[in-house]
Amino acid sequence: MEAEVQQLVEMGATPAQARAALRQYNDVMQAAERFFEGKFDHIRDEDEPMASSSEAKRRPRPSTPDEDEGMDSDAVQDEDEDDDEGDFMDYDSDDGTKAIANHIITDVDPYSGIFFSKDRKEEVIEVEEEPEVVEIPEVNQRVKLMTQGQWMKGCPEGGEQSFLFSLYSQLSEGQCLCPQGCGTSVQRKKSDFFAIFSEFSTYIEHLRKIARQTCKGCHAEFCLTCGESVSAEKVKRPTAATDDDPLFHCSNLQGVILGVGLSMLEQLFVEQSQEPAENKEHKARTFKRRKMDSAPDLDDPDAVYYLNISGNKKKGGIGYAGDQKEDNTGQLEAQAIQHAKDEKIGNLLSAIRVYLPNLHREGGGQTSDYLVHPTALAHLRRRFNYICSTLLRNDSLADMSDRAVLYFELLHWLETISNHEALASMMAMPIMVVGSVKAVTSKRSTVSPHHTIRERTIVYEGSSSPRELLEAIAIQAQAALKGLEGVKPPDSPPEELTEEQKRMTVDTKGKAKEQTVEVADENQKLLDFCQRILATANAIDRSLRETKGDAFVDRLHASLPKLFTSSTNIHVDAGTTEESAQKAYIDWANRVRFEYCDLTIPTTDKEKEKEKGSDEENVAPHYKFYYNNEARMLANSDIPKRSLAIAKELAILTTNLPVAWNSSIFLRVDETRVDVIKALITGPEGTPYYNGCYLFDIFLGPSYNQSPPSVKYMTTNGGKFRFNPNLYADGKVCLSLLGTWSGPGWVSGRSTLLQVLISIQSMILCDEPYLNEPGWAGSAGTAQSRAYSANVRRMVVKTAMLGNLKNLPDPFGDVIRTHFRLKARSIRTQLDDWLRNDDGKPTTADGGGYGPGGKVEAGGSTNGFQKDVEEMKAMLTQLEANGV
């Protein structure tokens, strides 16, 4: 018994706990499973537990509602059928029960608080040790052997840890007895199943050679992995495979192939994702210059300047010292390198996917498809989920489409997983990610004194589930599909051609034809990719309904991100504290930042009469929009290249508009004309624009994205107020990206509307707008600059606050009311501060009087600012009282 006690001690048990477990369970594996479930945590003795050098050990921790029951009910077949069976509850308790602190309670919703909570935290100790290197004669290779620490790495679930440990121990050592009882045995070696070859295909070939063994005593054929006989008689199932593939004989093979294969995949993914050192060094050298001199580049992951919307940035205007051009050399080479990396990862994903449990595989289900190993879900949750979450967090649908060789395979994986009842629940489980590393200690190995072992104490935290991450991409895909529709009217039944039309031909020779075909191909590529994403999301939901039921899917959908169609029915309570107000504001703003709406103005009969020779269906509508005439001129147009650019733009905008308590951007897009857009930007904190609402009309013209969008500033007090040297009273917006200001300009195919909006938010609505005039750029902190900002604050209260509330601009009426209601307490304090620091001078419409040498007569309290502040406070009180 002492040998078994020592085994349990090496797993982290104390000797007393080990003996108690073995007294109750004769089998050491069953005892280990119960120990990992915490059944013997209450037993203590004087001895310190011996640290294992080859596995991740769990620290004792309190039970939680979603404690370590990560296995699906159909995947976990608890072999222990004694009276303790009731202490173990898996994730999917179909009878509506769940285990909480070893007690079973009944809940109306069987999935409440389990799958959809991201509040979980699990602390574990993971061990790293040097792997053993051996020679594999069959393939003439020296390879590393996977250590037990590597095999267990990344698993914070106690139940899953016990299954992983059990499989590793069974296949890395000990005798495999002949199942016929002749007394002959075959020695299992760690190199049989845990050798890490350079290629996954080599590993599979190696397994094929050793998986089937012939007994030297009785010549019976048996499986080295499970020790069972290989029977020529196949299980008779309607969908069962008729072939006899040795690698699908048992669930043990499935568990080890997925474990080793996904470990190799994870390693390759990490290696391919790492940036070359020279690139990092180059970015480090250029980051400072680009941060100060360039317009925001959202394609650069290091471009963080646009996030600084609090106004606490370096003093200086947005004038540029000479024209700068972006260096695009090496872009095609980088794309080719990325494609090669994606293809390599995609091919490995495809090769491993063959061994996923799949009852619908071509040729019929194999034995391991029906009998899923308990470690299968553990492998997927800790290794595949890492890759899945990294790829699905990509904010660029266009980039995903360009990397379709990898993303199509990823979607195939998600569908395959959701199709099997033993794995489907994983789609709704929060992904456990490393939240922090609390401690790292090193010590000598007791097995190999020359080797050092590192123990890391890691805290794992819940994050978005695979289905939730996919939904964010599906929202982008839906927006892109809407963009690809362009501004064409709904398709009508094709009309029969006349004989003359049939005889007509169109000369499509030359360069124009080639360009049209190329653009159309790009459009079709993005179209196919978007449809594939939506089809995958629907297939997953359909499978979950079949395997888990309607209640499961309904609960899942309630937690998914949504693109709301109307903000009018959303009521948000600010609460009683500043913290509750901020949380409510951010939650609300995330829900309403992007919406489709109707921006048209009904056409009158008189206007229809003016449209000579046209019927009602062909009359282009008018829009509540500065660029109404330009939009009407493009009615019914079909410009494929423009449609593609708009599709990519909408995909970015739906999920990437910045939202914060300090400043946010809201967008409204016409539901039938996606090139007709209105924007609202709230002024950033620390600037004289803070909490004001600034509106812009935006039109994506006929040559978009070859040329920038048209942008008009609309919050001008009827064309009277110039809020900034770069925001004219007539609505002109001076910005280099728009070609209306010096500096880095629009880059065809790369620049985006989101860059324009963020540039306005962070570079124009700045803390010292006086400096935006090139001639005044060196006057930071001067009396003239302070006076200019005070003048802006007075205009903001009168127009960007009071003016917008008195005459709510369509379609942002609800957004403006809710913005001021949720921030009422904060804005009152802000107004008091602004009034206290006002210089008492009269408001100058264009701010020109505050320039160098400008003269402005003192106005004392006669400038009307105090009256505007009091009126604004009264309106805030009314908004709070009405709750709307």
Sheet (strand 133-136) strand order: 133-136, 141-145, 195-196
Give the count of beta carbons closer than 10 Å to the beta carbon of residue 143.
21
Q: What is the DSSP letter of 727?
A: B
Q: What is the pLDDT of residues 104-153, one digit of tens each?
A: 333 344 444 445 677 888 888 888 888 888 888 777 778 999 999 999 99
The secondary element (H helix, E strand) that includes residue 212 is: strand 212-214
What pLDDT is stored for residue 117 in this prediction?
72
pLDDT at 98 > cutoff 60: no
Residue 440 resides in a domain = no
Q: At what angle do helices 404-418 and 331-353 cross, to 10 degrees?
A: 20
Residue of 367 and 439 predicted with greater confidence: 367
Q: What is the pLDDT of residue 670?
A: 93
Question: How sure is the predictor about 92, in pLDDT bands with cuts at 50, 70 and 90?
Answer: very low
Q: What is the pLDDT of residues 756-814, one digit of tens each?
A: 999 999 999 999 999 988 777 778 889 999 999 999 999 999 999 999 999 999 999 99
The reply to whether 128 falls in a domain is no
In a domain, 759, yes or no: yes
3-state secondary structure (DSSP) of residue 362? coil
CATH number for the domain spanning 732: value is 3.10.110.10
Q: Which pLDDT does position 305 carry in this prediction?
A: 33
Q: Give me the domain span that covers residue 856.
A: 563-623+657-882
In this model, does residue 397 exceed pLDDT 60? Answer: yes
Tokens of 647: 């599709």
Position 499 pLDDT exceeds 90: no
Least confidently predicted of 10-24, 539-553, 830-844: 10-24
Q: How many CB atoms lie within 10 A of CB 509?
A: 8
Quick one: pLDDT at residue 39? Answer: 72
- DSSP code for 274: S
* Ramachandran region, residue 341 (left: φ > 0; alpha: ψ -120 to 50; beta: rest): alpha
Asked if the structure places residue 170 within a domain, the reply is: no
Q: Give the three-state DSSP class for 213.
A: strand
Q: Percent helix, strand, coil in the chain (nearest 5)?
A: 45, 10, 45
Residue type at 357 in one-letter notation: P
pLDDT at 599 over 90: yes
Identify whether 737 is part of a domain.
yes
Position 802 scores a pLDDT of 96
Give the dihedral of Cα atoms 617, 623, 626, 629; nearest 10 deg: 10
Report how far residue 148's alpha carbon sits from residue 128's, in angstroms, rounded to the nearest whole number: 9
Q: What number is the average pLDDT over the span 201-206? A: 94
Reported as a pLDDT band with limits 50, 70 and 90, residue 450 is: low
The reported pLDDT for the residue numbered 366 is 86
Q: Choose the catalytic residue: 155, 693, 734, 766.
A: 734
pLDDT at 496: 55
pLDDT (average), residues 642-656: 91
Integer Cα distance of 757 and 649 in angstroms: 12
pLDDT at residue 726 tops 80: yes
The per-residue pLDDT for range 124-134, each reduced to its tens digit, is 888 888 888 88
Give the CA angle between residues 374, 379, 383 to the nearest 5°. Answer: 165
Q: Is the pLDDT of residue 510 over 60?
A: no
Q: Which pair of tokens denotes residue 295?
A: 């317009």
Residue 710 in tokens: 């048209």
Tell me the DSSP string of 155-189: ---HHHHHHHHHHHHHHHSSEEE-TT-SS-EEE--
In a domain, 101, yes or no: no
pLDDT value at 442 more than 60 = yes
* Cis amide leading into 312 (omega within 30): no
Mean pLDDT of all residues in the chain? 78
The number of beta carbons lying within 10 Å of the beta carbon of residue 512 is 10
CB atoms within 10 A of CB 500: 7
| The residue to which tokens 């099997």 are assigned | 420
Does residue 304 have a pLDDT over 70?
Answer: no
Q: Please check whether residue 595 is in contact with residue 566, taking contact to mean a CB–CB distance below 8 angstroms.
A: yes
DSSP string, 79-97: ---SGGGGG---S--TTSE
CA–CA distance, 262 with 255 (Å, rounded to integer)? 11
851 found inside a domain: yes
Q: Are 724 and 317 in contact (CB under 8 A)?
A: no
Highest mean pLDDT among 63-77, 453-467, 556-570, 669-683: 669-683
Q: Which amino acid is at 79?
A: E
What's residue 436's pLDDT?
A: 87
The predicted structure's pLDDT at residue 108: 40
At residue 863, the pLDDT reads 78
212 CB burial (10 A radius; 0-12, 13-18, 19+): middle
Which of the listed ranges 79-88, 180-189, 795-804 does the model predict with the highest average pLDDT? 795-804
More confident residue, 739 or 300: 739
d(CA 214, CA 604): 89
pLDDT at 564: 67
**Coil, helix or strand for 22?**
helix
pLDDT for 287 equals 34
pLDDT of amino acid 118: 78
Rounded-to-integer distance, Cα 13 and Cα 51, Å: 9
Query: Tell me: the pLDDT tens digits for 607-630?
Result: 656 655 555 555 788 999 999 999
Active site residue 223: no
Q: Which residue has tokens 């010549």? A: 219
DSSP collapsed to 3 states, 528-570: HHHHHHHHHHHHHHHHHHHHHCHHHHHHHHHCCCCCCCCCCCC
11 or 473, higher pLDDT: 473
Q: Is the predicted pLDDT of residue 301 greater than 80, yes or no?
A: no
Residues near 511 by beta carbon (within 8 Å), at least 6 away in sequence: none
E strand segments, 521-675: 594-597, 600-601, 622-623, 665-670
- Provide the percentage of residues in the chain whose pLDDT is more than 70: 72
C-alpha distance from residue 79 to each of 76, 85, 88, 248, 457 (Å): 9, 9, 12, 22, 32
User: Is 598 part of any domain?
Assistant: yes
Are the C-beta atoms of residues 827 and 804 closer than 8 Å to each other? no
Instruction: Provide the domain count of the chain.
Output: 1
683, 690 Cβ separation under 8 angstroms: yes
222: which strand partners? Answer: 213, 229
Contact at 8 Å (CB) between 269 and 282? no
The predicted structure's pLDDT at residue 392: 92
Q: Is the pLDDT of residue 155 over 70?
A: yes
Closest CA to 416 of 530, 554, 539: 539
Residue 134: strand pairing partners: 143
Greater confidence (25 vs 836) lies with 836
Length of the chain: 884
